[in-house]
């Protein structure tokens, strides 16, 4: 082969490899890649995971999202399972936009080994990172030592509740881990010490421990676990039609503990509650941070612990007056105000005296 042929080959290679996707080093340097019609498919095939922002230059929401992606990109690039971040001007490069049916801006899609999945999670940088880490993680992480447990807890952060099955086979919880993958972290500890039992406050196995790092709350479920559904699943037989009390109890425990005992109401927790069919006991107060409000929140947690068939939430008018006003709370209201709410449009007010009798009986 002549030097001229080699030179032409190198020039051809440089033409094919567009800036931003030409090497593995570029892939992981934390920059947001700029894509167009000519290099989009190449970029998608170059990464196991790539988040693409389909934007328009004139779009105000897109302009506010852009710095959040710039902040998140280097963090996502440094994950154990790296996630590239890219953007495409869908208003200009319409071929790709039409292919992926982009009809609004900004639209975020996560491509998992080439397969697009719509991303509807939060868009602030740190929360976006937490959600994307969750999406690309294993359904159930296997932990083989005390140090592996502590490393896992530290790595997953504090945004989602964390479930750890001590002495459990992962297949016992795998179907529920898949169902709630975007709402919690799931793991099983295969080997652990008595120190771990003390730390996570359980005294026998098998046990499923759940804790909310942000709320300093923890619960333990001791079963039953072993049942006919587990064995059918293990033998790769029909599982979807299997129904029994043990699986129902486990499912209820996991679902009920996806949210803390007393839920501070905000836009994000409202999204969590949209998938929960329990009625909501909502306490409206003047200011969540007042000492008397903090004492009341402790009482709500105690009531919630004894009434898991209900959701207990609270909101301060000072924290979210727009939401509180929808229930008739204003400056003339005698606080605290207690509401029983179906999560939609129906609610009724009860007195604290009657509510004490209701929840303590």
Whether the pLDDT of residue 85 is over 80: the answer is: yes
Residue 14 lies in a domain: no
Secondary element (H or E) of residue 313: strand 311-316
**Residues 124, 143 share a domain:** no
**Residues 240, 295 share a domain:** no
Residue 3 lies in a domain: no
Contact 269, 263 (CB under 8 A): yes
Question: Of 40-54, 163-177, 227-241, which range is least confident?
Answer: 227-241
**Residues 149, 115 share a domain:** no
**Residues 281, 191 share a domain:** no
Where does the pLDDT of residue 286 fall: very low under 50, low under 70, confident under 90, or very high at 90 and above? very high
**Domain limits for position 53:** 19-134
**Residues 299, 240 share a domain:** no
**How many Cβ atoms are within 10 Å of 302's Cβ, its own excluded?**
14
Contact 208, 253 (CB under 8 A): yes
The residue-averaged pLDDT of 283-307 equals 92
Residue 39 lies in a domain: yes
**Residues 129, 42 share a domain:** yes
How many domains are contained in the chain? Answer: 3
**How many Cβ atoms are within 10 Å of 33's Cβ, its own excluded?**
23
Where does the pLDDT of residue 216 fall: very low under 50, low under 70, confident under 90, or very high at 90 and above? confident
Residue 7 lies in a domain: no
The confidence score (pLDDT) of residue 274 equals: 83
The confidence score (pLDDT) of residue 102 equals: 93
pLDDT digits (tens, 9 = 90+) for 104-139: 999 999 999 999 999 998 999 999 999 999 999 999
The confidence score (pLDDT) of residue 6 equals: 47
Q: CA of 358: how far to CAs of 11, 27, 138, 334, 351, in Å? A: 78, 58, 42, 20, 10
**Residues 127, 62 share a domain:** yes
The residue-averaged pLDDT of 175-179 equals 93
The confidence score (pLDDT) of residue 18 equals: 45
pLDDT digits (tens, 9 = 90+) for 218-258: 999 998 886 545 555 555 544 444 556 677 889 999 999 99
Residue 45 lies in a domain: yes
**Residues 242, 284 share a domain:** no
The arrangement of strands across the sheet holding 311-316 comes to 262-264, 311-316, 280-285, 337-341, 347-350
The residues annotated as belonging to the active site are: 59, 62
CATH number of the structural domain spanning residue 323: 3.40.30.10
* pTM of the predicted protein model: 0.77
Question: Over pLDDT 90: what percentage of the chain?
Answer: 66
């Amino acid at each position: 082969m002549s030097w001229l042929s080699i030179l032409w080959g190198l020039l051809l290679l440089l033409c094919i490899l567009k800036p931003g996707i030409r090497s593995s080093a570029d892939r992981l340097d934390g920059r947001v890649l700029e894509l167009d019609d000519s290099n989009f498919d190449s970029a998608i095939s170059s990464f196991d995971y790539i988040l693409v922002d389909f934007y328009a230059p004139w779009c105000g929401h897109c302009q506010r999202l852009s710095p959040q992606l710039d902040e998140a990109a280097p963090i996502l690039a440094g994950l154990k399972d790296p996630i590239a971040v890219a953007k495409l001007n869908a208003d200009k490069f319409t071929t790709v936009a039409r292919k992926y049916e982009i009809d609004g801006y900004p639209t975020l899609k996560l491509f998992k080994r080439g397969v697009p999945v719509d991303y509807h999670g939060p868009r602030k940088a740190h929360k976006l990172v937490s959600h994307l880490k969750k999406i690309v993680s294993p359904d159930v992480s296997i932990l083989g030592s005390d140090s592996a447990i502590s490393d896992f807890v530290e790595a997953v952060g504090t945004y989602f509740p964390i479930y750890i099955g001590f002495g459990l086979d992962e297949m016992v919880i795998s179907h529920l881990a898949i169902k709630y993958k975007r709402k919690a972290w799931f793991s099983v500890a295969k080997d652990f010490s008595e120190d771990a039992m003390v730390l996570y406050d359980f005294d026998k196995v098998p046990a499923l421990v759940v804790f909310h790092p942000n709320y300093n709350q923890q619960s333990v479920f001791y079963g039953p676990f072993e049942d006919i559904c587990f064995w059918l699943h293990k033998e790769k037989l029909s599982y979807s039609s299997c129904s029994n009390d043990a699986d129902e109890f486990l499912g209820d425990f996991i679902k009920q503990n996806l949210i803390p005992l007393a839920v501070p109401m905000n836009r994000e927790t409202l999204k969590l509650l949209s998938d929960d069919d329990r009625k909501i006991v909502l306490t409206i107060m003047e200011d969540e941070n007042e000492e008397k409000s903090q004492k009341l929140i402790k009482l709500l947690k105690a009531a919630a612990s004894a009434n898991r068939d209900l959701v207990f939430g609270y909101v301060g008018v000072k924290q979210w007056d727009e939401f509180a006003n929808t229930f008739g709370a204003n400056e003339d209201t005698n606080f605290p105000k207690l509401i029983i709410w179906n999560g939609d449009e129906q609610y009724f007010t009860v007195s604290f005296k009657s509510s004490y009798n209701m929840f303590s009986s």
